[in-house]
Amino acid sequence: MPASPKKALGLLGSAFAGVFVAIAGTVEHQTKVNGAPVGLVVAGIVVLAFAMQARIQTGKLGAIFFAAALAATIFWTGLEFHKDKMIPANDLGLFWSYGAIGLAAIVVIWPKLSKSLWSKKI
């Protein structure tokens, strides 16, 4: 059975979100405030929030599209073009590179994540 246009647009939107979050996090992850890695923490929270939103809205396949686009963009921005890198090989750069992809992968492999699970009152 062919996929519906709404589902296809949702998957495309998840991929675009992955690219957007990767670029924004790559730019922001080196920000420190009084020595605290605020940019890295905020970027990690954004990755987790967008990955969960992709999983809730479009299912596991949407989270896979998000994680794949995020990983590909982080890999691409970490490459050396003309002796310049967007992700330096320091602690924050390594935590961003592997941590962001790891967070997105956790959301993909999480057993169940649905709207009803998050809408229940405690």
- Domain limits, the chain: 19-115
Single-letter amino acid code for the residue at 23: I
Q: Which is higher by pLDDT, 29 or 103?
A: 103
Is-above-0.95 flag for pTM?
A: no
Residue 22: band (very low, low, confident or very high) from pLDDT cuts 50, 70, 90? very high
Residue 103: band (very low, low, confident or very high) from pLDDT cuts 50, 70, 90? very high
Mean pLDDT score across all residues of the chain? 86
Mean pLDDT score, 77-82: 75
For residue 116, the model assigns a pLDDT of 67
Buried b (16+ CB within 10 A) or exposed e, 72-87: ebbeebbeeeeeeebb
d(CA 120, CA 34) in angstroms, rounded, equals 39
For residue 99, the model assigns a pLDDT of 93
Residue 1: band (very low, low, confident or very high) from pLDDT cuts 50, 70, 90? very low
